[in-house]
Amino acid sequence: MELSSLVVQVLWGISAVMMAEMIRDVYHLASHQWGPLQYLHSWHHKAYKRDFTPISADLYARAQLYNDVPESLFMMAVVAGLAIAIDQPGLWLGFVYAAGFLGTAIARSQGWLLLSDLTHKPGPLTEKPSNWVVNRTYHWRHHFDNTQAYYAGYFTFLDKLMGSAVSLKGKTIAVTGASGTMGQALIAELKRQGAKPIAMTTSPEASWPVGLQVLPWCPGAESDLQQVLKRVDILIINHGLNVHGDRSPSAIETSLQVNALSAWKLAEVFMTTVKTSAQRANKEIWFNTSEAEVSPAFSPLYEVSKRLLGDLITLRRLDSPCVIRKVILGPFKSNLNPIGVMSAGWVAKMVVTLAKRNVRNIIVTVNPLTYLAFPLKEASRSLYFRLFSKRQTK
């Protein structure tokens, strides 16, 4: 076989392995939607305790026999059909890959193989949920947070496509700056997603929707919120101010305190509440840092303070115990910016839509340059911090 032909078949083989994983994800999704497969798949969910320890050897064996064996056979059948139809020998690598799942499933069902697969390995969760490839923490959420999300088995493409890579249903989500235009829009959108929002505000006397929990707070008193934040799953740090052209000492102090330091301190308090496996799997922080991280806002102190916050977040991401997302917004219409070109409701919907697809840097703007400039800035700053700083351990 010529080298070029060999390379082509290797590429077909790699594609076949990825196709086999996608076929497995589709089968898994069907197992939660179609009655006959639901019955077979239910054994898989019955088999594990919350730390992925098998409840019993019998249940574990049945789960392998009733769920994993049919799933493997389906993968093998579909890949074999594609290999025959397309007539590319490299595709049979996907068949061999799927056959490996069948062999291990049969071995585990008979007690010949006692080791579990990587995503069901017993023990406490030690990692944050992954982004592109499924780890134990990511898959734990499918079993014990929401069985109607997190379907992916290895690559997370299906969940990102469907918006099931992050579930907001039933989550307690605290939003700072809740009395502002964007805060109100986020709270409304989160309620539509089935979340339980908490309005964190410095203006508790404002008019609020009936039934919405309102939590008064003020910058500088972040440590007082630790007990409340223990029961919060997602903290959205959305507050901020703009002193526009003012460059007085008081304006400098206020901008740094409100836009950067209070946000950082609040996040640090929140991160002290991430201790258990469930908290490590579900807790997140979303920072609204603004497009000012990479483009002019025609307000020097707003830019300085938001860029400081952005860099602090990038640095803190390297060691954070939970997922941290950045929300980079362009000009939206609000009381503070009546000439904004985007509606707050639409922006909030886009933010939530992208978060559910596990996007870690959420950009919503009409400025195309931001979509180019921000990833470059974030990657370079992250690399710089990684190379020239280190975590201090006790």
Confidence at residue 249, expressed as pLDDT on a 0 to 100 scale: 96
Note whether residue 393 is domain-resident. no
Q: Would you give the distance in Å from CA 375 to the centre of its chain?
A: 17
Domain boundary among 106, 135, 162: 162
Closest by Cα among 166, 164, 155, 161 to 25? 155
Note whether residue 330 is domain-resident. yes
| Same domain, yes or no: 183 and 96 | no
Confidence at residue 243, expressed as pLDDT on a 0 to 100 scale: 92
Confidence at residue 219, expressed as pLDDT on a 0 to 100 scale: 85
By three-state DSSP, how is residue 99 classified? helix
Note whether residue 16 is domain-resident. yes
| Same domain, yes or no: 94 and 151 | yes
Q: Which parts of the chain are beta strand (E)?
A: 172-176, 196-201, 213-216, 234-237, 284-288, 323-329, 361-364
| Same domain, yes or no: 323 and 229 | yes
Closest by Cα among 384, 336, 356 to 156? 356
Q: Is residue 284 predicted with pLDDT exceeding 90? A: yes
| Same domain, yes or no: 379 and 267 | yes
Q: Is residue 392 predicted with pLDDT exceeding 80? A: no
Note whether residue 55 is domain-resident. yes
pLDDT digits (tens, 9 = 90+) for 131-174: 999 999 999 999 999 999 999 999 999 999 999 999 999 999 99
Domain boundary among 140, 162, 184: 162
pTM score: 0.94
| Same domain, yes or no: 194 and 330 | yes
Closest by Cα among 60, 22, 307 to 161? 22
| Same domain, yes or no: 193 and 50 | no
Q: Choose the catalytic residue: 48, 66, 154, 302.
A: 302
Mean pLDDT, to the nearest integer, of 93-101?
97
- Give yes or no for a contact between 48 and 125, defined as CB atoms under 8 angstroms apart: no
Helices 69-86 and 3-31: angle between axes, nearest 10 degrees: 140
Contacts of 338 (CB under 8 A, 6+ apart): none
| Same domain, yes or no: 232 and 158 | no
Note whether residue 39 is domain-resident. yes
Mean pLDDT, to the nearest integer, of 72-89?
96
CB-based burial of residue 186 (10 Å sphere; 0-12 exposed, 13-18 middle, 19+ buried)? Answer: buried
Tell me what percent of the chain is helix, strand and coil, each rounded to the nearest 5.
55, 10, 35
Domain boundary among 138, 162, 186: 162
Q: Report the CATH number at residue 218.
A: 3.40.50.720
Note whether residue 94 is domain-resident. yes
- Give yes or no for a contact between 328 and 292, defined as CB atoms under 8 angstroms apart: no
| Same domain, yes or no: 103 and 229 | no
Q: Is residue 302 predicted with pLDDT exceeding 90? A: yes
Q: Is residue 1 predicted with pLDDT exceeding 60? A: no
Note whether residue 383 is domain-resident. yes
* Mean pLDDT value across the chain: 94
- Give yes or no for a contact between 291 and 370, defined as CB atoms under 8 angstroms apart: yes
Confidence at residue 297, expressed as pLDDT on a 0 to 100 scale: 86
| Same domain, yes or no: 265 and 353 | yes
Least trusted range by pLDDT, from 29-33, 172-176, 195-199, 331-335: 331-335
Q: Is residue 281 predicted with pLDDT exceeding 60? A: yes
| Same domain, yes or no: 133 and 200 | no
- Annotated catalytic residue 302: yes
Range of the domain at 214: 172-388
**Could you give the percent of the chain with pLDDT greater than 70?**
99
How many structural domains comprise the chain? Answer: 2
